[in-house]
Structure 1
Amino acid sequence: MALLHHFNIGQHIFCGSLAMLLGLVPMLGRKGGAVHRRFGRWFLVATAGVLVTAVLGLAVFNFRGYLVGIVLLSVYQAWSGYRAVRTRAAGPTRLDGWVAAGFLAGSVGLVLALRFIDLVWTPGIIYSTLGALVLMTLYDLARFRFVPVWRRTLWRYDHLWKMISAYFALVSAFTGTVLPQYKPYSQFGPSALGLGLVLGFGLYYALRPGWPLPVLPSAAG
């Protein structure tokens, strides 16, 4: 069992490191082209690997409640950012609503369970992480009330906001784990940098009407 646990940890580190490398290309490179789409898909695959290995590690080998929140947040951000492009023509679907509701329930459940969990990370970091997930899922559920506006403009910023946030959530999980001597700065520093990039990119593209984003073959589903 110990051998399988260490193998799973190795796969988790590999997928996370790969995701951080792959994510740099679509984030910093030219938007909307084939390279952006290709590396974006690879980033999502690597992020899915992070999720699978994290679930195995947390549920089967060594449950660490303080890491569940950051995994939930990064995976949901990547999923919702991807879906913003997939559903840009028709608007969010029932699938998006059910997934948002599921992650909302999971985040609330984890908040209630934290009192019974040994918190290794700074409590404020954990609660703010789960708070960010709650706010994002509530926003995604609220989108059904303003679909026309979302389809015209907001989907672009959804994609930008969530994919950059997903990337820096992974970076925060990495630095917070491997640099514990610098807590809490190693935990929230990358996320603060990501927020600054989201605001900077958002302002930059707001001043450039019609800025491109990846074009996927299907607009719904």
Structure 2
Amino acid sequence: MELLHQLNIGLHIVCGTLAMLLGLVPMLGRKGGAGHRRFGRWFLLATAGVLLTAVLGLAVFNFRGYLVGIVLLSVYQAWSGFRAVRRRATGPAPLDGWVAAGFLVSSVGLVAGLRVIELVWTPGIIYSTLGALVVMTIYDLARFRFLALWRRTLWRYDHLWKMISAYFALVSAFTGTVLPQYKPYSQFGPSLLGIMLILGFGLYYARQRPLVRPGVSAGSAAA
């Protein structure tokens, strides 16, 4: 069992390193091109490996409740960011609503359970992580009230916000684990950088010409 645990840790580290390297290309390179899509898919695959090995490690080998919140947030950010592109022409589907509701219930349940879990990480970091997941899932449930606006423009910011957040959630988990002597800065520092990038990219796209020309429907433009 110990050998399997070490193999799982090794695979987790390999997938995490690949995800952090691959994610730089779609985040900092030209948006919307073939390279962006290709490296974006590879980033998602590597992220899936990170999350699967994390879930396996937490569930089978060494449960650590304070890491469950990071896993939940990273999984949901990557899933919802990917779905924002896939559903840009038609809007979120019922599946998106059910997944958002499931993660919202899970995050609230984990908040309640943290009172009996040993908190190795700074409590403020853990609660803010779960708070971010609550905010994101509530927003995703609210999207069904403004589908036309979401299909017209907001899907782009939705994708941007969640994929960059997923990337820096991985980086924060990495730095918080390998640089414990610099806590809590090693835990929230990468997230602050991610927030600045999200705001910068968001302002950049907001200053561009409208994504939909007058007289063209949102569904036609996004198809």
| Structure 1 length-normalised TM | 0.94
Amino acid at match of 2:137: T
Tell me by how many angstroms 1:74 deviates.
Answer: 1.2
How many aligned positions are there?
Answer: 213
Deviations 1:159-209 (A, max 9, x none): 111100100000000000000000000000000000000001100111112
Q: Which residue of 1 aligns with 2:102?
A: 102
Distance 1:62 1:136 in 2: 28
* Mean Cα deviation higher: 191-200 or 202-211: 202-211
Indicate the RMSD between aligned Cα atoms, in angstroms.
1.2
State the identity %.
Answer: 84
Q: Which residue of 2 aligns with 1:209?
A: 209
Distance 2:99 2:18 in 1: 25
Runs of 4+ in 1 over 3 A off after TM superposition: none
Distance 2:65 2:14 in 1: 21
Q: Which residue of 2 aligns with 1:178?
A: 178
Tell me by how many angstroms 1:210 deviates.
Answer: 5.2
Distance 1:68 1:167 in 2: 17
Q: Which residue of 1 aligns with 2:163?
A: 163
Q: Which residue of 2 aligns with 1:82?
A: 82
Distance 2:210 2:13 in 1: 38
Distance 1:127 1:35 in 2: 36
Q: Which residue of 2 aligns with 1:62?
A: 62
Deviations 1:108-166 (A, max 9, x none): 11111101111000000000000000000000000001100100010010011110010
The within-5 A match list for 1:24-63 is: 24-63=24-63
Structure 1: runs of 5+ lacking an equivalent: 212-218
Amino acid at match of 1:115: R
Distance 1:174 1:13 in 2: 9
**Which protein is bigger by CA-based radius of gyration?**
2
The residue matched to 1:149 in structure 2 has which SS? helix
Distance 2:201 2:73 in 1: 21
Deviations 1:40-84 (A, max 9, x none): 000011111111101110000000111111111111111111100
Matched, 1:192 2:192: yes
Structure 2: runs of 5+ lacking an equivalent: 212-221
Q: Which residue of 1 aligns with 2:150?
A: 150
Distance 1:210 1:20 in 2: 32
| Structure 2 length-normalised TM | 0.93
